[in-house]
Structure 1
Amino acid sequence: MAKSAHSTKMAELNTPNPQAPEGRGSIPPERRTVTPTPDDVKAQADSDDDSVADAARKAAAEQTRAAKDAAAARASDQAARLRDAGESFDPGSFAHAASERLADNLSDAARSIRDTDLTHVADDLASFARRQPLLFFGGAALLGFAAGRMLKASERADTDTTGLSPHDRGVS
């Protein structure tokens, strides 16, 4: 990390001056200090803020890239499984053709996930939300309700034979 202007001034002032008399009333070099100016303090704070923001941006970008790669890999894996499952059907059957079509679409989705820059997706989503706020918030509410129903359904499916839910059994 580079030295700040304040620490450079301190180092210059704390360097002994061989021409200065060390007599009575003089301040030894190690005791001299300079009060930083408001501009020095602001410059140091801005520098610290920039480095923290840059580190946060880099960490977020790395996590986003890892999540994107994991989602693409998962989609590719599911496409391969779907294609393998389709092979068990007769080659001319509807099930075989449907599984092949779904596998192709899932492979395309995986490729699209891999190739898409998520910052552009976020910008497009924000732009859409500004142009169509009612549709955007309606869709968000619909997704929220769907997620709630799925969670409730998974909790019901997790109920054991005693009729107790995992929450009632003390299981997290």
Structure 2
Amino acid sequence: MPTDRHRLAREALRARPFFDALSDEEFDHLIDACDLRTLAPREVLWAVGREGQSCYVLISGRLEQSLTRQPVGRKVEQIDRPGTFMALSYLVKPWRHHSSAVALERSVVLKLDRERFETMFEAGDSVAFRLVDELAEALVQEMRDANERLHEVFGNPAETLRLLRRRTRNA
């Protein structure tokens, strides 16, 4: 039976391709498996070093995700598009977070715990398989980003050496 949570999720998410491709039954099943969480401004969704146990889907609001990566440094991304998956890879394993996510304003997210996902996956649930496909797409994009960063560093060896020499002189 549809609840306010189902209505809110349907209104926010159906325009996104992943959610639009789900049947009504699959969509409701996914929403039933998730907890709805409301974040106050400046509330932390996850922090660096904490063990990841869940993935999240933005329903409304705006979050900031901060990640420190070498050689680029600190990368800050604002997440404000309903239907955006966050921390999807934590459905696979409880790795420690290398980033943090903080609400910039009142925000609502769906939270899917790894245990619930594993139960769905082991039962052969089609929604779980679709989530695995989404995770695979995200991993492919991360690999492309990593390759681009490697090319930036090693693609122009003479320039990279000059930059490293300047940094060591200034240190």
More strand by share: 2
**TM-score normalized with structure 2 length:** 0.26
Larger RCO, structure (CA 8 Å, separation 6 or more) = 2
**Higher Rg:** 1
More helix by share: 1
**TM-score normalized with structure 1 length:** 0.25
